[in-house]
Amino acid sequence: MPTTTARDRPRHLLDLAALPAARIDALLCRAQQFAEGAQAPAALAGVAVCTLFFEPSTRTRLSFQLAAQRLGAHVLNFDASTASTTKGETDLDTFRTLQAMGVRGFVVRHKADGAVAALAAAAQPGVAVLNAGDGRSHHPTQGLLDMLTLRQAKGEDFSRLKVVIVGDVKHSRVARSDLHALRALGCGEIRVCGPAALLPDDDTLAGCAVSHDLDTALDGVDAVMMLRLQRERMAEGLVASLDDYHRAYGLTEARLRRAAPGAIVMHPGPMNRGVEITDAVADGPQSRVLVQVANGVAVRMAVLEALLG
Ligand code: CP
């Protein structure tokens, strides 16, 4: 009878919904150590990690690459524009091909919901698949880095925190992962604000205070999590114009004054400056946008170490 060791068991990070609060907390504590300069240059020595992105990315792909390099891994970058997928090779055959080469860590982004989980189901023992964003479903490391950024600014006890997520929640995997993490960590009040056409009508927003008025939604919050307006929503008729959207849901300095003193502003990037956020807010003293980027490297080191170290 074949035996399965702890090392052989598939250990993936596909979403935050299944991750208990204690596990999230442990990853955030380790990420905080990396953010403060802890080193683990041999943690992934000899391990091959591939960033397998079927969708564009700047922050996620490069911070995963940097994180894996800092842990001593061999890092391969799959470029969909020059790969044999352009000749019709399927995503699964691509995955199996890389697995046969000895890749043990796959960091995968895909436009289709569930596509990363489908590849994980084909993983051999000892291979880890990390979801770097699938469709509108999950972006777990973004959720973790956002929680780390919140903790650094507001402390570990989220029970008194008021957080508002603003914008296109309906199509946002970032928002879904943030909502899972905020609930798991016991956030006191979660507000969600956006036009009705851009808010989900399923149970995604269970327990959230939903509003279509940004001024009201900002009152007294400790953190504002802005989302990128995906421009194709205009073509779909969900948003009348970028100017209209900015007037109703753009975060300006004047609006931000409604938040609690010391409130922080977050945005996963890439930002549409002048649409969902003004330059003055994006580059202002309350912005944590670049802290989020820096935390992305630390969080991804913690996750890679936990799954492959
Ligand atoms: N936040 C985020 O996922 O950014 P990228 O698309 O640049 O990776």
Q: Going edge to edge, which strands form the sheet with 74-79?
A: 74-79, 48-53, 103-110, 128-134
Nearest CA among 271, 268, 134, 247 for reference residue 195: 247
Look at ligand 1, atom 1, and give the residue with the nearest C-alpha.
268
Cβ–ligand 1 distance for 58 under 6 Å, the answer yes
Could you give the domains of the chain? 21-138+293-308 (3.40.50.1370), 140-288 (3.40.50.1370)
Q: What is the pTM of this model?
A: 0.96
CA-to-CA distance for 241 and 234, rounded, in angstroms? 7
CA-to-CA distance for 98 and 33, rounded, in angstroms? 32
Ligand 1: which of 53, 54, 58, 111 to mutate, judged by most atoms within 8 Å of the beta carbon?
A: 58
Would you give per-residue pLDDT tens digits along the chain (309 residues)?
Answer: 333 344 545 589 999 998 999 999 999 999 999 999 999 999 999 999 999 999 999 999 999 999 999 999 999 999 999 999 999 999 999 999 999 999 999 999 999 999 999 999 999 999 999 999 999 999 999 999 999 999 999 999 999 999 999 999 999 999 999 999 999 999 999 999 999 999 999 999 999 999 999 999 999 999 999 999 987 777 788 888 999 999 999 999 999 999 999 999 999 999 999 999 999 999 999 999 999 999 999 999 999 999 999
Cβ–ligand 1 distance for 142 under 6 Å, the answer yes
Q: Is the peptide bond before 270 cis (omega within 30 degrees of 0)?
A: yes
What tokens were used for 74?
């061999």
